[in-house]
Amino acid sequence: MSRSARTILLLAAIALSAAQSGAALAQASAKKLGLGREATAAEIAAWDIDVRPDGHGLPPGKGTVKQGEELFTALCAACHGDFGEGRDRWPVLAGGHGTLKNDRPDKTIGSFWPHQSTVFDYIKRAMPFGNAQSLSNDEIYALTAYVLHLNDVIKDANFELNDKNFLSIRMPNADGFYDDDRETAEKHFWNRKVCMKDCLKTEPKVTGRAQVLDVTPDNKTAPRVD
């Protein structure tokens, strides 16, 4: 079990009796209140749009890099740029490989996202911005293929992405994540003695000032006392 899962379990144990696991809960059917009605298969199918990294929820379908490029130019490039470079402050989708340790990292789908399922899941539920849930599954396969091609994850410009080969793709930063370790990595923030009197050897000096940057919306009109 991962460390964070252990932490969560521990927290849960404080909040409720350990016996209240999923299994125990399932058996507590005697306490049912008879509220709600059974959802139909059609209702679930219409709303169940999520896709997991293990392929759970991945719908049948297919789309090529080329088809994706056409769709992207028509539906996405206005914000994300023709090559996923991002216009104005809209998200940059491509590039940034190897920059995660840099002073200014470039977190894109190719440089940062650990799972290709997230691309599919997100496009399906939220894109295009302002016209969500308007794309067919084939269109989403094509767009996912094109965005991964922009990131050199799919190198072949004639590639067809489909539900059969979807899981064969591996994202460059797939191993770049680890579970919350604050309770060990930051253990020194707990139970420390705090100084209350004569705590500093040297005079505290101002090392940074917000007014120098002058990016606060109200900065010029904020209450001044001069």
Partner 1 sequence: MSEETSRRRFLTGAVAGGLAAAGAGSAGAQDKGKAATAIKSNPKNQPPNVPSWSKVLGDGVATHPYGKPSKFERHVVRRDVEWLTASRESSVNFTPLHELDGIITPNGLCFERHHGGAAEINPLDHRLLVHGLVDKPLMFTMDDLKRFPRVNRIYFLECAANSGMEWRGAQLNGCQFTHGMVHNVMYTGVLLRDVLREAGLKPNARWLQVEGADSAGMNRSLPIEKALADCILAFKMNGEALRTEQGYPLRLVVPGWEGNIWVKWLRRIEVGDKPWLAREETSKYTDLMADGRSRRYTFIMDAKSVVTNPAPEAPLRYKGRNVLSGLAWSGRGRITRVDVTLDGGRNWREARIDGLVLDKSLTRFYVDFDWQGEELLIQSRAHDETGYVQPTKDELRKVRGVNSIYHNNGIQTWLVRSNGETENVEIG
| Residues 6-35 close enough to bind partner 1 by CB under 8 A | 8-9, 11-12, 15-16, 20, 22-23, 25-26, 28-29, 31-33, 35
Question: Is residue 123 within 8 Å of 129, Cβ to Cβ?
Answer: no
Element (H, E) at 80: helix 77-80
Burial class (CB in 10 A: 0-12, 13-18, 19+), 150: buried
Total number of residues shown for the chain: 226
Window of 68-76, 117-125, 144-152, 161-169 that interacts with partner 1 by CB under 8 A: 117-125
1 near partner 1 (CB under 8 A): no
The smaller minimum CB distance to partner 1, of residues 155 and 213, is found at: 213
- Interatomic CA distance for residues 214 and 224, integer angstroms: 14
Window of 69-77, 122-130, 142-150, 159-167 that interacts with partner 1 by CB under 8 A: 122-130
For partner 1, the binding residues in 151-170 under the rule CB under 8 A are: none
219 near partner 1 (CB under 8 A): yes
97 near partner 1 (CB under 8 A): no
What are the tokens at 6? 């252990």
For partner 1, the binding residues in 55-94 under the rule CB under 8 A are: 56, 79, 88-91
Count of positions on this chain that bind partner 1 (CB under 8 A) = 98
In this chain, which of 42, 155, 158, 215 binds partner 1, going by CB under 8 A? Answer: 215
125 near partner 1 (CB under 8 A): yes
Assign 119 to helix, strand or coil.
Answer: helix
The smaller minimum CB distance to partner 1, of residues 158 and 177, is found at: 177
184 near partner 1 (CB under 8 A): no
Burial class (CB in 10 A: 0-12, 13-18, 19+), 183: middle
- Interatomic CA distance for residues 215 and 212, integer angstroms: 9
- Interatomic CA distance for residues 212 and 130, integer angstroms: 37
Window of 52-60, 61-69, 141-149, 154-162 that interacts with partner 1 by CB under 8 A: 52-60
